[in-house]
Amino acid sequence: MSTFSVYMIRHGQTYFNKYRRMQGWCDSPLTTVGEQDAINAGKMLQAVTFDAAYASDMPRAMNTAKLILPNSGNADLTVTPMPAFREAFYGYFEGDDTSQTWFEIGAPHQAPSLSDIIEKYGIHKAKDFAKEADPFHQAENNAEFWKRVNGGLAELRQQAHDGDKVLLVSHGNTIYSIAAEVANLTSPARPQNGSVTKFTITDDTITLDYLGKKDHIE
């Protein structure tokens, strides 16, 4: 049985993050602050020698990874895109105002914000509610999301060797969803831009080591 570590970093701040817009499969560039988020994440990870580097195929994640690697002392690695670790797809709501969207999605369930939905029902139901509220019903529900992410986890297990340390740049709700699946989270706060979440993965288990860390990493 192999055991390896995955350091999942949320991409740096984007313009849609700054303007509080829904950003799943749509994309927007990193802001100057977002580029610094990535550089800071790299500096936090200077004590870690990575064996492989992956990122969601969204440009905001790929560009974050490309800034992390040289600033962490891992400039020799190439970033491999992994679409499986994209953010959830929000369908009709892509690009809309974040607060208004989650109000529309959650209000019928007496939970008028994403935090309220998570506290009352859990992050997984947020995806089901989004698909239900989408007039085209094209937003990903929880089952669709996990079919995709589980495929990515299977690919990581296939590629990694025992003792490997893997860099993976992904997205806030994706990272939080994986953490919530394997640990009893008590806060609805999702990882901040540029923060590091660490998982230990074996052939048949995933353990959350820490969530959303923004200081020195080992």
The predicted pLDDT at position 103 comes to 98
The predicted pLDDT at position 109 comes to 98
C-alpha 111/C-alpha 61 separation (Å) is: 30
The predicted pLDDT at position 215 comes to 87
The residue type of 113 is S
Non-local (6+) Cβ contacts of 191 within 8 A are: 10, 172, 175, 176, 197, 211, 212
Token pair for residue 195?
A: 């923060």
* Residues in the chain where the model's pLDDT stays below 50: none
Q: How far is CA 171 from the centre of its chain?
A: 3
The predicted pLDDT at position 96 comes to 98
Q: How do 196-201 and 206-213 pair as beta strands?
A: antiparallel
The predicted pLDDT at position 115 comes to 98
The predicted pLDDT at position 1 comes to 81
The predicted pLDDT at position 211 comes to 97
Non-local (6+) Cβ contacts of 84 within 8 A are: 148, 149, 151, 152, 153, 155
Non-local (6+) Cβ contacts of 119 within 8 A are: 111, 188
The predicted pLDDT at position 14 comes to 99
Considering only CA atoms, which of 8, 46, 33, 37 is closest in space to residue 194?
A: 37
In angstroms and rounded to an integer, the radius of gyration of the C-alpha atoms of the chain is: 17
The predicted pLDDT at position 62 comes to 99
C-alpha 105/C-alpha 132 separation (Å) is: 8
Whether the CB-CB separation of 40 and 194 falls below 8 Å is answered with yes
The predicted pLDDT at position 45 comes to 97
